[in-house]
Amino acid sequence: MPPILARYSSTRDQKSNDGSGTAHVFLNVYDLTPVNNYLYWFGLGVFHSGIEVHGIEYGYGAHVYSSSGVFEVEPKSCPGFIYRRSIRLGTTDMSRSKFRLFLEHLSGKSHGNTYHLVSKNCSHFTDDVCARLTGKPIPG
């Protein structure tokens, strides 16, 4: 059985179709600290990122369990972070249902207790998803 993604919000629109057709892929960027307002202008900062596809945002975070650290939220509203901006990364032809299966498979490799601030974090997760969907990495 594939891992279950944690859901932090249930108010998003539920669509009855499978979401087939082209979907935009966005990188949603969040500030971890208000100090980013000053550091951002120097190309610095501490950020969280999530990937938005088919109207749902997916992120990766740490917890102490050996289950998936991948979660879903309403776009641009990840709890605990300050939304900064969205960057359009491209498109995917993957249907909503196929994308869901793809993400559940990927989430099985992204356990909360394997999160590492430097070597396996939210940006590594979003970069991996983006590369698999669009063939390109997220911006630096």
Q: Is residue 15 part of a domain?
A: yes
List the domain range (segments joined by +) for residue 16: 6-134
At residue 16, the pLDDT reads 32
Q: Is residue 139 part of a domain?
A: no
Q: Is residue 30 part of a domain?
A: yes
Q: Is residue 1 part of a domain?
A: no
Q: Residue 97 maps to which CATH number?
A: 3.90.1720.30
| b/e burial code for range 54-90 (CB count within 10 A of at least 16 → b) | bebbbbbbbeeeeebbbbbbbbbbbeebeebebeebe
At residue 1, the pLDDT reads 34
Q: How many structural domains is the chain composed of?
A: 1
The pLDDT tens digits of the residues spanning 38-70 come to 998 888 999 999 999 999 999 999 999 999 999
At residue 19, the pLDDT reads 55
Question: Catalytic annotation on 48?
Answer: yes
Q: Which of 54, 111, 122, 130 is catalytic?
A: 122
At residue 6, the pLDDT reads 57
Q: Which of 48, 54, 78, 130 is catalytic?
A: 48
At residue 58, the pLDDT reads 97
Q: Is residue 140 part of a domain?
A: no
Residue stretches of the chain with pLDDT short of 70 = 1-20
Question: Catalytic annotation on 122?
Answer: yes
Question: Which segments of the chain does DSSP mark as H helices, in order?
Answer: 36-39, 96-107, 122-134
